[in-house]
Amino acid sequence: MISERSTDLVITGGLNVYPKEIEDLIDALPGVVESAVIGLPHPDFGEAVSAVVMRQKSPWGAALTEASIIAAITGDLANFKVPKWVYLVDELPRNAIGKVQKNILRQHYSPMRPK
């Protein structure tokens, strides 16, 4: 869906962030099964880059933390692209064809952060 792709773009502080670039870095980390990068409301930036990360059920996955993920990718990204928040989950919501439903992630995690 084209409308879905346009909402995939995160605009933070007037700068465009393409989630795929960040997802590729996070997905390459040991212990990560898959990630989804979304924009969540932020009072200063409009949207904050945020990552929802599905962990492996292994010692590698158990060792992942918000801080360790941010630290691991910080050197590879411009500062405005580094996620402000990382949520660790056991499963990502999917539609009938297996695509991650980022709209559901936005709805679920938006109330958790200041608007």
pLDDT tens-digit series, residues 83-97: 999 999 999 999 999
Spell out the residues 6+ positions from residue 8 whose beta carbon is closer than 8 angstroms to its own: 18, 19, 102
Q: Are 31 and 60 in contact (CB under 8 A)?
A: yes
Q: What is the mean pLDDT of the chain?
A: 90
Instruction: Please state the separation of Cα 52 from the chain's center in Å.
Output: 4
State the residue for tokens 């539609």. Answer: 95
> Pseudo-torsion of CA 51, 56, 59, 61, nearest 10°?
0
Question: How much is the average pLDDT of 42-51?
Answer: 93
Architecture of domain 2-112: 2-Layer Sandwich (3.30)
Residues found in the chain: 115
Write down the pTM of the prediction.
0.88
State the residue for tokens 């990630």. Answer: 35
